């Protein structure tokens, strides 16, 4: 995952990616700016084409959505689910 970057040393397994997403969701930065960060990540999902970044974004949104159901409602409002279906079909 995230080939060619320093992240190769950090995010080696799917569990590492989930743990990283959970750490972001529970960080003080996210706690203070959750709405802004969440919206930026959702917009990244809609614009990003790199598979590794999409994997990271989707992991974060899944972890965040499990903790805060409103994330899924916001994703629906922003049109993320058709984008996710499009990506799965590729």
pLDDT in tens, 26-85: 999 999 999 999 999 999 999 999 988 998 999 999 999 999 999 999 999 999 999 999
Structure tokens, 12: 């080696």
What is d(CA 55, CA 21) in angstroms, rounded to the nearest whole number? 11
What is d(CA 73, CA 75) in angstroms, rounded to the nearest whole number? 5
Structure tokens, 14: 């799917």
**Model confidence at 7: pLDDT above 60:** no
What is d(CA 20, CA 74) in angstroms, rounded to the nearest whole number? 22
- The reported pTM is 0.80
């Amino acid at each position: 995952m995230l080939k060619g970057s320093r992240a190769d040393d950090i995010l080696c397994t799917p569990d590492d990616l989930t743990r990283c997403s959970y750490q972001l969701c529970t960080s003080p930065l996210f706690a203070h700016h959750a709405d802004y960060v969440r919206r930026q990540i959702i917009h990244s999902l809609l614009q990003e084409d790199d598979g590794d970044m999409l994997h990271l974004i989707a992991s974060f949104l899944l972890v965040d959505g499990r903790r805060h159901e409103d994330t899924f409602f916001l994703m629906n409002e922003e049109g993320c689910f058709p984008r996710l279906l499009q990506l799965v079909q590729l």
